[in-house]
């Protein structure tokens, strides 16, 4: 499972010209699932994401989480995080199948909602993602259990 986490001042997702998810201060996170990912990885990364201390405290140090600042998450499903690029044309054979990935994305979103407010993109839709990266701060989180 892979997450691309961006600290944002604002972010939104549009599908067919309509905003389906929008946040102000928080984390816009691209979410990708590998073929062997399970709820175990989702549980771990939901907790990690909500508690990741990448917001500044009163001393200007990254010491606060999205929970601490009262921010939100915008979760955007993105199977292309599992692109295999050995050749010039990406292959996605290591990405989870859409049916399973939809279920796991919904599960992951619910686990995050237990900790913080969550907005989401739309699985399987063509989405336009808009964001104002704050910092910029962008972090890659990955977890695979053996």
Q: The domain spanning residue 92 has which CATH number?
A: 3.50.80.10
80 catalytic per annotation = yes
Tell me the backbone φ, ψ of residue 104, rounded to 5 degrees.
-70, -35
Name, in order, each residue with C-beta under 8 angstroms of 103's C-beta and a sequence gap of 6 or more: none
* pLDDT tens digits for range 18-71: 999 999 999 999 999 999 999 999 999 999 999 999 999 999 999 999 999 999
Given a cut of 80, whether residue 145 has pLDDT beyond it is no
Asked whether residue 36 is assigned to any structural domain, the reply reads: yes
Count of domains for the chain: 1
The catalytic position among 29, 33, 55, 78 is 78
In a domain, 144, yes or no: no
Q: Answer yes or no: is pLDDT of 119 > 70.
A: yes
Strand 26-32 relative to strand 2-15, pairing: antiparallel
Tens digits of residue pLDDT in 57-110: 999 999 999 999 999 999 999 999 998 888 999 888 899 999 999 999 999 999
Q: Which of 38, 80, 138, 145 is catalytic?
A: 80
Q: Which is catalytic among the residues 29, 33, 55, 79?
A: 79
Query: 146 pLDDT exceeds 80?
Result: no
Residue 120: active-site member: no
Is residue 80 one of the residues assigned to a domain? Answer: yes
85 annotated active-site: no
Of 36, 31, 14, which Cα lies nearest the Cα of 144? Answer: 36
Q: Is residue 29 part of a domain?
A: yes
DSSP H/E element including 77: strand 72-77
**Of 1, 141, 8, nearest in space to 73 by CA:** 8
Mean model confidence pLDDT for the chain: 95
What's the pLDDT at 83?
86
Whole-structure pTM value: 0.94
Element (H, E) at 66: helix 66-69
Domain containing 37 equals: 2-135
């Amino acid at each position: 499972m892979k997450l691309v986490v961006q600290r944002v001042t604002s972010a939104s997702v549009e599908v067919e010209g309509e905003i389906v998810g929008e946040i102000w201060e928080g984390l816009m996170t691209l979410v990708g699932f590998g073929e062997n990912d399970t709820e175990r990885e989702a549980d771990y990364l939901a907790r990690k994401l909500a508690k990741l201390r990448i917001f500044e405290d009163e001393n200007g140090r990254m010491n606060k989480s999205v929970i601490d600042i009262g921010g939100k998450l915008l979760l955007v499903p993105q199977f292309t995080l599992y692109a295999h690029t050995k050749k010039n044309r990406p292959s996605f054979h290591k990405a989870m199948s859409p049916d399973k990935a939809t279920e796991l994305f919904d599960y992951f979103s619910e686990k995050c909602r237990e900790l913080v407010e969550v907005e989401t993109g739309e699985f399987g839709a063509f989405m336009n993602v808009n964001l104002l990266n704050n910092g910029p701060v962008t972090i890659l989180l990955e977890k695979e259990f053996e």
